[in-house]
Amino acid sequence: MIRSFSTFVLAASFVVGLAAQSDSQRLRTAPWSPEVQRAFAELPVQDGGRVKPLDTVLQFALYRIQHKRKVHVPDEARFGFLAKTSLTPIEWGLDLMLYPEASNIVPAFTLEDSDVLTVIGIGDVEKRKRDRYSYAELEPGIQELVEKASEYHAIDTKKRTLLQGQIVGLANAVREYQGLSRALDFARARYVLPEGPVRELFDGAVEVRTSDVLRKMAPLIRLFQTERDDAGVREFADDVDEIVKVSHHLAWIPPSVDSHEEWLSVSDLFEMSFSGIATGDQIECVERFEDVTDALGTPGEFDAAVFALHAKLSSLTKARGEFDKIPGEVSYYRADFFGWALVLFLGGFVVLAFGWLAPRARWLATGSTLFAWAGEVALVWGITDRCILRERPPITGLYDTILFITGIVVLAALVQEAINRRRIGLMVANVLGAAGMFLSFAHEVSSGTDTMDPLMAVLDTNFWLATHVTTVTIGYAAGLLAAGLSYVFLLGKLFGLRKGDRAFYHQIGRMIYGSIGFGIVFSTVGTILGGVWANDSWGRFWGWDPKENGALLIVLWFLIVLHARLGGYIRHYGVALLSVLGGAVVAFSWWGVNLLGVGLHSYGFTSGVQNALVAYYGLSVLVFALGIVAWARERAETAAAQPPAVS
């Protein structure tokens, strides 16, 4: 990957043989209309093994480049009509592809450590340790960046230092940025034809576009072979080769209807044209892109060219049966269901907090309940929309487990609240709902990987995804709900919340116990179904794989807690203490075993979560220790309150 990055950087500076590309130097003088944004957003592109909207491609590219959903534009970086303080992925992508030179001053790269600049030889940029940088600021050090990244790329990922990892990440981000900025170079290119055989082949034309070259590619190849000593022919061949080198980033040319081949980049289309098998429809797609770049700066013509491009690509994609989900996916990301869920859960918690200050104001509790249920509806709606778009059960990857577990936890907590009406479940629902949404955003942004890409073969079965995975994940949710309720129990005891109200804590203890009882059923059934799936996929029911061991560990831990409670060895305090540790066990099975990178379930490995996981382990141990302190203090107070024994 790094070698191709180096090649791309070296190829990115070409200007030989092309007419002046003044369009890329212009400034945008009007905002992108909603209709143009929507048309570009719905352009189909094959990426990650599936056909998806350009909007999705740009969104995840932005995650990989700057780890955020929008590009903030400071005053000094605004150009032309760009008066907005931030750009959505499609606005940023349109600027980058259609006005690349002007976009280079927009700070689109996030550097976690400014020491990266020192390593790549840029020492005169004075910013904070963690800050955003533009391509123009990084450009003087790109060659050194490529060399350092090539060196560090050879080091195993787990053995790289933090700084080395950031340099490799920045190199990949720059490569992604450059690929998008050059994505329409083929449409801007104007080939000035030298006098002689080349101009004669094009019937005396002085300047041609890429689509013209593609239509003449077969005779051009013969000309390149027979007239290779002609200086004009060699110069023209070099010009074409340069465009081929930088036109491979996006595969947005559909193959023919009766073909099962991969979608084509313009570079691929050149290769097909060499042998004369490129179709007229495919070359017309290139022509529609050229019309778009030609019409820049002329609003009416530009809009018409964009709509014609959209119509052409969508019609070819519909003919292949691959366009149906494109508009729905654009609408799904625009709706931002999970963003609304986060806002609603946070709102519910804030309203409930005011309710603690005014216990008699029942309307505050009612308002918090409405916020929580609205957040749950938004969350479930988003999950359902994903299922419809993918034609899959709700869980297909680690990102989906976050959404699903959060939905189950919130629903269970709200049901418990409806039963006992003590505002305990309501608080847990809002807090864990917001925490789950934060975790989902962090995972999506840090991984930078499309969460709706196709599954690997071993997971590609709707039946087992709908049975084993869903069932065992409900068990995870129950364990985390029990841990959340236990936090309330133990910390409430520690800080004297409703001190002396035995019924209050008795109710929380019953909720914890009920959550564990709920979880043991689904964890046990889910683990058994996992063995059945393993036998179907790998020919053995159980192999002591780390993921299998993690699932078994949850079942055993639940059994320990339940048997200890039934046997009278522990009561509500003991159940709460063990449930806190049970939450850590669930976290280990859910995320921890993936960090091991071994076993048949190593497909679940996700980098960047180790620190968060260790922090949660530390929090669990801390709350457990504080719970012991609270328990010991309560026992001491109870003993002191008892009258002395009469001798």
Percentage of residues in the chain having pLDDT higher than 90: 57
Domain boundaries, the chain: 2-13+55-185, 188-319, 336-454, 474-638
Range 189-212 burial, b when 16+ CB lie within 10 A, else e: bbbebbeebbbebbeeeeebbbbb
**Per-residue DSSP letter, 76:** G
Q: How far apart are alpha carbons 525 and 554 in whole angstroms?
A: 12
Q: How confident is the model over 565-611, as pLDDT tens digits? A: 999 999 999 999 999 999 999 999 988 887 766 655 555 445 567 77
pTM of the model: 0.88
> Of 577, 589, 575, 587, whose CA–CA distance to 616 is shortest?
587
Q: How far apart are alpha carbons 405 and 383 in whole angstroms?
A: 11
Q: Which two tokens stand for residue 272?
A: 């097909």
Residue 79 has what pLDDT? Answer: 57
Contacts of residue 186, defined as CB under 8 A and 6 or more positions apart, other chains included, come to 210, 243, 247, 266, 286, 289
Lowest mean pLDDT among 132-141, 174-183, 245-254, 532-541: 532-541
Q: Which two tokens stand for residue 69?
A: 């959903």
Q: How confident is the model over 491-538, as pLDDT tens digits? A: 999 998 888 788 899 999 999 999 999 999 999 999 999 999 888 877
Mean pLDDT estimate for the chain = 87
Q: How far apart are alpha carbons 300 and 302 in whole angstroms?
A: 5
**pLDDT surpassing 50 at residue 211:** yes
Residue 8 has what pLDDT? Answer: 38
Range 331-364 burial, b when 16+ CB lie within 10 A, else e: ebbeeebbebbbbbbbbbbebbeebeeeeeeeeb
Q: How far apart are alpha carbons 295 and 109 in whole angstroms?
A: 30
